[in-house]
Amino acid sequence: MPDDQQRSDGVTPTQEEDRREAGRSERAAAAEGSGKHDGGGGKKPGFIRRHPVAIIVGLVVLALLAVGGYIYWLRNIHPFETTDDAFVDSRQFPIAPKVTGYVTEVAVADNQHVQAGDLLFRIDPRDYQTSELQAKAQIDSAQAAIDSADAQIAAQRAQIDQARAEVTQAQAAVKFAEEDAARYRDLQSRGAGTVQQAQQSAANLQEQQAKLTSANAAVLAAERQVGALQGQRASAVADLARAKAQLAQAQLDLSYATVTAAQSGRVVQLSGAVGQYAQAGQSLAIFVPDDKWVTANFKETQITDMRPGQPVDISIDAYPDRKVTGRVDSVQPGSGTAFSLLPAQNATGNYVKVVQRVPVKITVDQWPDGVSIGPGMSVVPTVTVR
């Protein structure tokens, strides 16, 4: 086969030989250059020997960064506990009248701020004014009955005195009759008196004794009549006390016809309207007091060092530029689920441990002025625990 005959891959033997010769020349040149660079054909030094200063500087920088990171964590992260599961809280309650009647006046508007004692609603007072007048009339009637009983008792005591005087008179008459009868009996026994005179004196004695008995009975009856009159007076006194109690209740119901604010706060969800027939206990609005705090649900692993009185920095989601401060007021003795309507039942075979949340009450030193902050708004508290 000729030398210049091409192979199946399209390269002739001559070309193949030229390529091999060029490769050997390049390797020889590279080896020669490397020998010159190493100064005699020695092994190439490593990166650490070629850059010892850079390695030392890098290690020092890493050490400084580690120390600085630890100091930052110790001063800025480690002493604090924070959570975004926190909300503004308060004891809001419905405003409801205690008496039934038509609403005649609504003195507030939606979301209006009121002070303690301000008028909120007014119920038609006429029914309760009538009850007050009736109670006053009953008081007058009971007082008149007492005065009448007192007068009757005084008159009866006078009759008792008169009956006792008659008793005294009868006793004197009986004594005289006894002496007179004894005298005539003595005269008859000596034959100086007659039988008729003796009998007449004895009859007179019996008559005077009967009068004495009647007088004593009259005294007893008069005294018992006084007891009956005193019972009537006691009944009148009870009627007077009942009438006074009815008057007090009527006046209290009349005062309930005017619904006022018990404390300062805001009126929300106003539903009462003039002309509405309000039942006792029916909600006419919701009242949100000015006394608000923060309820923060921390993980149970975050309350290890949390104690009442620790300072808190609070960020309000609605007003990120307003920062407020406060104090830890108390830590609930138990997780939130333990006090829920349907507590979790963990005594099951498929139990999975979950980090529980513990409510922490945080009081605020001063809420920002000029903004509307109410229950349910999100905040982020940061508690300094160390």
Q: Report strand pairing: 378-384 vs 86-89.
A: antiparallel
Domain ranges within the chain, ordered by starting residue: 1-34, 45-78, 83-92+289-384, 97-124+258-282, 126-256
Residue type, 17: E
Tell me what pLDDT residue 386 has.
Answer: 75
Q: Which CATH number fits domain 97-124+258-282: 2.60.210.10, 2.40.50.100, 3.40.50.2300, 3.30.200.20?
A: 2.40.50.100
Interval 177-186: pLDDT, tens: 666 667 666 6
341 CB contacts (<8 Å, ≥6 apart)? none
Low-confidence residues in the chain, pLDDT < 70: 1-48, 73-78, 176-181, 183-199, 201-202, 204-205
Both tokens of 37, joined, read 């660079």
Tell me what pLDDT residue 261 has.
Answer: 95
Tell me what pLDDT residue 209 has.
Answer: 73
Assigned superfamily of 126-256: Helix Hairpins (1.10.287.620)
Q: Kindly state the greatest CA–CA separation across the chain.
A: 218
Using only C-alpha atoms, the chain has a radius of gyration, in whole angstroms, of 57
Domains 83-92+289-384 and 97-124+258-282 share a fold: no
Alpha-carbon distances of 71 from 63, 64, 78, 79, rounded to whole Å = 12, 11, 10, 12
CA–CA distance, 353 with 346 (Å, rounded to integer): 9
Fold type of domain 83-92+289-384: Elongation Factor Tu (Ef-tu); domain 3 (2.40.30)
- Does the pTM of the predicted model rise above 0.95? no
